[in-house]
Amino acid sequence: MADDELDDRLSRRFESSQNDEKENQPEKSQKDMSSTSSQNERKAQSSQKAKNIKEEWNVRSFYLSDDLDARLSTAFKRLDLDLSESDSEIDLKKTRHFYPLLVELGLDHLEEMEVTEVTERLEGKDSV
- pLDDT of amino acid 21: 47
Residues 6+ apart with CB under 8 A from 83: 90, 92
pLDDT tens across 33-84, in order? 555 555 555 544 444 578 888 889 999 999 999 999 999 999 999 999 999 9
How would residue 4 be classed by pLDDT, with cut points 50, 70 and 90? low
pLDDT over threshold 50, residue 120: yes
How would residue 128 be classed by pLDDT, with cut points 50, 70 and 90? low
Nearest to 36 by CA among 44, 101, 62: 44
DSSP H helices in the chain: 2-24, 30-46, 53-56, 66-85, 99-112, 115-126
Most distant CA pair in the chain, distance: 58
Is 110 in contact with 118 (CB distance < 8 Å)? yes
Letter string b/e over residues 49-66, b meaning 16 or more CB atoms within 10 A of that residue's CB: eeeeeeeeeeeeeeeeee
Go through the chain and tell me how many residues it has: 128
Is 54 in contact with 67 (CB distance < 8 Å)? no
